[in-house]
Amino acid sequence: MENINMHSDVAKKTGTTTVGLVCKDGVVLGSDRRATMGYLIASKDVDKIFEIGDGIAMTVAGSVGDAQKLVRWMKAEIQLYKLKHGKDITVEATATLLANVLSQYKFYPFFVQLLVGGSDRDGNHVYSVDMLGGVTKEDFTSTGSGSPIAYGVLEELYSGSKSTYENAKVALKSINAAMRRDSASGERADIVILDKKGFKRLKTDEISKLL
């Protein structure tokens, strides 16, 4: 994650690696767990994947404060949507809502890179949302300082015809590759599976089995 202090003479920055993969039976999201400030490892156990709705989650890379505010904001908006319409919001509508929020703050933007992924009545989806509200639908994608390394693995091993279990291995390999080469990504990988059953964060022993 990247934490930028706009009121400091020296911006405090951190990096990260997040990935999102669309599978035949759901979606896989992954990230590392390290937060850094310059050359300092500020934390070795940071959540970067958040459940924001039923079967929908968001990965965050960027300003810590901005990311936390957006997670709280989206959780509230999704609950309001369900109360107002009497049904769960779709992944596409969630990404559009998030993009609209970010677009309203172009002059004082949130310093974030976000992925929205999930499984809904329309299928399995991953969307990449930039800090100015730009949205792209992806089969697989990565954000953060380690993303160029992660992409090398994803390009080689990802397939949309694979199951969430098979692509969880691909996500894990891509994050591990990034952690070996990107100093701002590290500690361990966090893997989340989203399908018709909802949100599942893999436990440490389950991730070990994937290796």
74-110 residue pLDDT tens = 999 999 999 999 999 999 999 999 999 999 998 888 9
Q: If pLDDT is split at 50, 70 and 90, which confidence band does 174 have?
A: very high
Q: Does the pLDDT value for residue 173 go beyond 70?
A: yes
| Domain assignments of the chain as residue spans, ordered by start | 18-205
In the predicted structure, residue 12 carries a pLDDT above the cut 90 = no
- Per-residue pLDDT reduced to its tens digit, 126-152: 999 999 999 999 999 999 889 999 999
In this prediction, residue 116 has a pLDDT band, given cuts at 50, 70 and 90, of: very high
Active site residues: 16
Q: Tell me if 36 sits within 8 A of 14, measured CB to CB.
A: yes
Residue 7 has pLDDT above 80, yes or no: no
CATH of domain 18-205: 3.60.20.10
CB atoms within 10 A of CB 178: 31
